[in-house]
Structure 1
Amino acid sequence: MKTNIKEKALATLVCIALVGCASSENEPKEFDGSLYSGKPVESLTNEAPPKTEIEAITRGDAALSTKNYDLALYEYLRSLSFTDATHQNKTLYTVGRIHSAKGNYPLAEKAYIQALDYDEFDVKSLEELGLLYTKQGLTEEGRSYFFRAVNADQVRLNNPDVLTSYSEVTDEILQSLPYDSKSPFRSYMGLGILADVDSKHDIAKRYYERALEINPRSTQAMINLGYSHYMSGSYYLAQRITNRALKTEPNNEKALNNLALIYISLGDNRQALNIFKRHMSTPEALNNVGYFLMLKGKPDEAIPYLQQAIDKNPSYYKIANENLERALSEVRLNEVEEVDKEQTGA
C-alpha cells in the first residue's frame, strides 16, 4: 500500500514537472521591437497579453481589417515571440506588407528578408523584395528577386528545370515554364519592364504575355505589352492592345498617354490631341503634342501646336514658349544642314 502511495505521489510530481516544463516552453520571449514602428506600444491596447501565437495573429488580423496598422503590427510581432511559433514566415510577410503600405521601406525589406530565413522559396516575399528594390531604382537587385520568385514558383510547381541565368532566358524557355493562378505575375511583369528598359523588347513581350496568362484582367500588364510593341515599332498592334486596356479602365492616364503617342507615331496628330484632352486641359494637350512631335524629329509640325498652347493660356506661356523656342531652333538647324548638303553636294 505504501509503495502504491509513493508511486502515485511520484507520478503526480512528474506530471506537475512536465506541465511546468510545457508551460515554460510556451511562454513568449520578450517583445522584439526591431520591426515595429508606430505609436508607443503601451498606448495600443489594454487587453491581457495573448496566450498563444494563433491568438496574437487573430488579434493582428482583426486590427488589420479595421486599418489599425500600428496595433496589427504589434500583435503580429507578439506572435513571433512564442517559442513554439510555426507561422513566422507568413507573419513576417504580412509585417513587410504593412511597412510597405506605410512607406517604411527599410523595415519592409528587413521583414521580407527575415521571412526568407524561414522559407527561402517564399514566392510572395521574393516578389515583394523585387518590387521594393525596383521602386527605389535598384534595378539589379529588383531583377534578381523577381528572377528568384519565378524560380521559387517552379519549385512549388515541381518543375526540375529552374532558370539558371536571366541573360539566357529565351522565348522558348519562357513558354515551357509551367504556371497557375498562384504564379507571381508581378514578377513576370517586373522582368518585362526591366527588359524593356534594356531595349530587349521581344523578350519583354513574352514576360508580359505570361503575366496576362496568369492574370488576364491585369490592365497594367496590357498597358506594358502595348507600350513594348510601340517601342519596337508595331504601332497598330500597340494601338489594339492599349485600347483593350482602356476598355477595362477608360480613364487610365498611362494608357491614354501611350495611345496618344501611338497616334503621333502613326501621323494622326489630331487624334493624339483628342486623346490627351481626355485627361488634361487643351493648352496642356497642345503642348504635349508639340513636345512629342519634337522628340520624333518633327519640329516643323510641332510649332503650330506650341503656338496654339501659348495663345490659349498665357499662364501656360513659359513651358510652351520654351518648347517653341527649341522647335524653332531645330527647324533653323535643319535648314542650315540642308544648305550645307546642297553646297557640298553631299
Structure 2
Amino acid sequence: MTHRFPVKEIAVQSGLSTATVDRVLNNRAHVSPQTRRRVQDAIAELTRQESQLAARGRRFFIDIVAEAPVRFTRQIQQATEAVLADFRPAALRPRFTFAETMSAEETGAIVERILRRGSQGVCLKARNTEETRHAVRQLEGKGIPVVTVFTDIPDIDRLAYVGLNNEKAGRTAAYLMLKLLKDDDRTLLTTLSQHSFQGEEDRFRAFRSELSRLRPELELIDASGGGGLSPATALGVRDKLQGVKAISGVYSMGGGNLAILRALEAAGIEPGVFIAHDLDEDNLELLRAEKLSLVLYHDLRSDMRLALRHLLAFHGVGEPPRSSESDIQVVTPLNIPGDI
C-alpha cells in the first residue's frame, strides 16, 4: 500500500495501533477487511489534509460521526475539508466515521474507539435514541465536547446544535406546498428516513400541523422509514400507494427522491408538486430535469464551519458563534447555486 505518511500519523488518523497499521501496510496475515479499509481511509484523509499536517499551530483532532446515505456523508466530508484552512494557524485534523445505518452496538463501538484514542471534539449526526444519548454522556463525561449537526438530540448536555431550524423548515415547506397546490388537490405523500432522527421528525410535525391548520381536508400518507436509501424507500412508498389513485404533492424530508419518483411512476402517479431537502447529486439532477419543484437548502460548508468554531471555542480558541441556525434557501431549477 503506497503512502508517504509516518506510521504514527496513520495510526492516529485511523484510531488503530501502530503495530496494526504496520501489519496492514506490509500485507501481513490476520488483518480483517474492515481494519484494512480503515487504514486505506486514513491514508486518503491524510492525503486530502496534507496542508494541515504541515501547519505549525495548535493541533486539534475532531471526529465527524454521521449516520446517513453516502450521497450526504460525501457532502459532509467535502464541506468539512473545504473550511479547514479558515482556522489557520490552528491545524484541524478531522477523522470521519460514516455509516448508512448505525446499530446501537456500532454506535457504542465508535464511541469506545473515540474514547480510547482521544479527541478534541465530536460533530454528531445520529438518531435520538437512548443508546445515542448514553454515548454522548460518555463523551461529555470524559471532557470531549459534542456538537450535534443537521439533526439535534436536545435532551442531552451537548455543546451546541448546528443546522436548520427544522420546525421552521417544516412550516416553510407547508407554506410553499399550499401556494403551489390547486384548490381541489386532496392527497399528499410525506417521507422521512427515520422518525427517530429528531430533525426530520421536527420537520414532519411542523409540516403536518401547518397543513392541518390551513387545509384540514388534505390527507397525508406517510411512507417513512427507508433510511433515505433507495431500495428501502422505494419499497415503503410502493406499499403505501396500494389503492391510491392520485398524489398531488410530495414532501420528502429524508432523501431517496429518485426512488420515490420511480415508485410513483410505477403506480402511474405524477405529483404536481415535489419539495425536497439538500442539494446532493440526485437532487441536482432531478432539479435540472424539473422533476423536483424546489429544494430547501442550507450551506453545509457554513454549517461545518460553525460546528468547528464551537469546538475550538470550547478549547479557548476564538469565540463561539452567536447563532448556529442555518439560513433556509429555496432553490428551484432556475436558481441552482453556481458553486455546488
Same-fold call, TM > 0.5?
A: no
Return the TM-score normalized by structure 2.
Answer: 0.26
The structure with the largest helix share of the pair is 1
Return the TM-score normalized by structure 1.
Answer: 0.25
The structure with the largest strand share of the pair is 2
Q: Which structure has the bigger radius of gyration?
A: 1
